[in-house]
Chains A and B, each alone.
Chain A
Amino acid sequence: MKQLNELATPFATVAESSDLPGQDLPWLQALRQRALTQFSTAGLPAKKQEDWKYTSLWNLSQHPFTHQAVESTVDAAQVEDLALLDDAYRLVIVDGVYVATLSQLDDLPVGLTVCPFSASLDSVKQQLGQQVALDKVGLTALNTLLMKEGVMVHVAADTVVDKPIELLVINSGATADLATHLRNMIVLDVNAQATVVEHYVGVTDGVNFTNVVSEVVLAEQTELFHYKLQQESHQAFHIATLAAKQAAGSQWHTQNITLGGKLSRNDVHSRLEGEQSHTTMDGLYLLNDEQHADTHTRIDHLVPNTTSNELYKGVLNDECHGVFNGKVIVHQDAQKTDSNQYNHNLLLSRGCAIDTKPEMEIYADDVKCGHGSTVGQLDMDQLFFLRARGLDDVTARSLLTHAFAVDVLARLPSETIRQALSAVIEQRLPRGEKS
């Protein structure tokens, strides 16, 4: 049997033939070269690696992907339909290509820069790749090797951005078996505040592969509200790494909602490097059919007086498989850490499965930490109560499922975004007769 890294060579050869940005930048070429070396050695992660125990990339490695997109036909009306938010600064990427005419970046306020990654290479030079480890996961190396587009958000010191920024990534289906490698950089300078939505959506039910790395850099006293909504095709492969470094007093609130994808994997990582910094890391995976979604999170408390809250919920139906692995590491110096981490799962069918593992590693002695996970079914008493009030069985089940799921949105400060996400979740639930 061939090894996974051998099977991954088609990806590696793409680097030589494709029109990647920054060919004239020696530092970027050097970075890509390092990535190539790393990827050639490590290849794609295999199941024997503990972090990939439940997720096989075999089918991904076997699939004949193309990296050349043909022109798509997505128009402005479609973008309006697909976008999560009406009133937002919006950068639109279709099939891996930035589309200026579909984006809304004309009236950016002073202090805010939102531009395509390919056009901002010089400005991201200092921070690019600093938040992620090339050698840890082959997919980050692959992304670094082939990264072509994405969004760069920069918020200057003391700037409070007035509207959310939505990165809308559309897979139109125009190119069958398209692979895209996106890199996003979100950088907030001292005392800045912003809201960023990363939104991935598939228009058709075709196969595609999205490999995205998002890096977040939060300077002192910044606050970033960050939402990721993944609604790709149920045939799609979606691999995402999201990593943040947080300086003193910074607040990162991230919400990660997985609805699409045949196989999806999210690695979310925050490093609390400055005192009084805080991470809220919430998420939801709502799966059916034969979807497989794997979430690995990690929060490093590195200094004293930092806090984190984490709540991930899963709703699983049909024959799907969910994986949650949450790791909180309280390092030796990180006294007075206050951290809690929970993962709750609702199983709606006999055929679905969840592997959940919340973990805490604590090396400091004066900390407050709690964690736990649950796996359960709908509450029969609640269900009977609703039916005894006239709601049909399907509606009652959907209502209870929705209530379970949207709990992860409770800590979300923006009513507009909460309602938008809540509506998206509701659409995914089975509908009963009109009641």
Chain B
Amino acid sequence: MLEIKNLHASVDGKDILKGINLTVKPGEVHAIMGPNGAGKSTLSNVLAGRDGYEITQGSVTFQDEDLLALEAEERARRGVFLAFQYPVEIPGVSNIYLLKAALNAVRTHQGLEELDAMDFLTLVREKLKLVKMDEDFMYRGVNEGFSGGEKKRNEILQMALLEPTLAILDETDSGLDIDALKTVSEGVNALRSADRSIVMITHYQRLLDYIVPDFVHVLSDGQIVKSGDKELAKELESKGYSWVHAEGPAA
């Protein structure tokens, strides 16, 4: 499904990713952990297609296509979803409008008819329940005046509606209190399926108590230095990131 090979990326001439290798198969949940400045957000931005990153080496293949050759919107339509660490507020664009435009962009790409207003609303209401959001949120500007938790729930709502093949969750746990973390995690867990892969990027082990990954990778200084199962996260939690630094890059 997703294959990252020897990926190098730089910003303003500064190398951030220095040879990432990662293979994600359908239905798998991977957690990528690492200290600040390790390149976690760069990796998610590069995968989602944000401008401003130069790929200097390597490749990313998504469902047999060269992902890096696609525009951000083309990736989204093919089923790549980035849940943002800091979801932007867009006053003047209603949430419901965004959801409809986004869903129709995906459906059009898939050769499906656009949903009519009634079917769309029925679908949205069903997904709202999943993330415990009130319908009022639909008619406000995108994330406008939302609390941190509401913004993250809104991200998961979009994910639920768009049903991506690959979801990248960038620090989805940051800024969440324990109740919001539970709600968001339940939403994500409900979306786990055999044909949907999830890459979770996080600084803390805490999220992994709620969304249990199949694999855990440690990102440090632009490289994956260690990979394992969920036990690796616990080890990290107790020993700290300096532990993997000391051990050096994985062979």
| Interface size, B (range) | 20 to 34
- Please tell me if A379 contacts chain B, counting CB pairs below 8 Å: yes
Chain B residues within an 8 Å CB radius of A385? 84, 87-88, 90
- Nearest CB on A from B192, distance (A): 21
Q: Are A400 and B98 in contact (CB under 8 A)?
A: no
Q: Are A382 and B72 in contact (CB under 8 A)?
A: no
- Nearest CB on A from B64, distance (A): 20
Contact of A389 among B91, B92, B101, B141 (CB under 8 A): B101
Number of contacting residues on A, CB 8 A?
Answer: 25
Q: Are B76 and A406 in contact (CB under 8 A)?
A: no
Contact of A400 among B72, B93, B101 (CB under 8 A): B93
Given A384-B51, A385-B84, A385-B87: A390 touches B76 (CB 8 Å cut-off): yes
Secondary structure call for the B interface: helix
- Please tell me if B149 contacts chain A, counting CB pairs below 8 Å: no
Q: Are A388 and B101 in contact (CB under 8 A)?
A: no
Chain A residues within an 8 Å CB radius of B51? 380, 384
Contact of A403 among B77, B81, B93 (CB under 8 A): B93
Given A384-B51, A385-B87, A434-B108: A390 touches B77 (CB 8 Å cut-off): yes
Chain B 58-96 interface 0/1 with A at a Cβ cutoff of 8 Å (1 = within): 000000000000011101110001101001101111000
Given A379-B88, A402-B92, A403-B93: A388 touches B98 (CB 8 Å cut-off): no
- Please tell me if B49 contacts chain A, counting CB pairs below 8 Å: yes
Max count, chain B CB within 10 A of own CB: residue among A379, A384, A392, A395: A384
Q: Which of A382-400 contact B (CB under 8 A)?
A: 382, 384-393, 395-396, 399-400
- Please tell me if B158 contacts chain A, counting CB pairs below 8 Å: yes
Given A400-B90, A404-B92: A435 touches B104 (CB 8 Å cut-off): yes
Q: Are B92 and A386 in contact (CB under 8 A)?
A: no
A400 CA to B49 CA, complexed, in Å: 19
- Please tell me if A381 contacts chain B, counting CB pairs below 8 Å: yes
Chain A residues within an 8 Å CB radius of B101? 389-391, 395, 399, 435
Going nearest first, the 6 A-B pairs with the smallest beta carbon separation are: A403-B92, A390-B105, A390-B76, A389-B102, A387-B72, A435-B105
Measured CB to CB, the residues of B under 8 A from A are 48-51, 71-73, 75-77, 81-82, 84, 87-88, 90-93, 97-98, 101-102, 104-106, 108-109, 141, 158, 162
21 contacts between A and B (CB under 8 A): A380-B51, A382-B88, A384-B72, A387-B73, A388-B72, A389-B101, A389-B102, A389-B158, A389-B162, A390-B162, A391-B101, A391-B102, A391-B105, A392-B71, A399-B97, A400-B93, A403-B90, A403-B92, A403-B93, A434-B108, A435-B104
Measured CB to CB, the residues of A under 8 A from B are 379-382, 384-393, 395-396, 399-400, 402-404, 406-407, 434-435
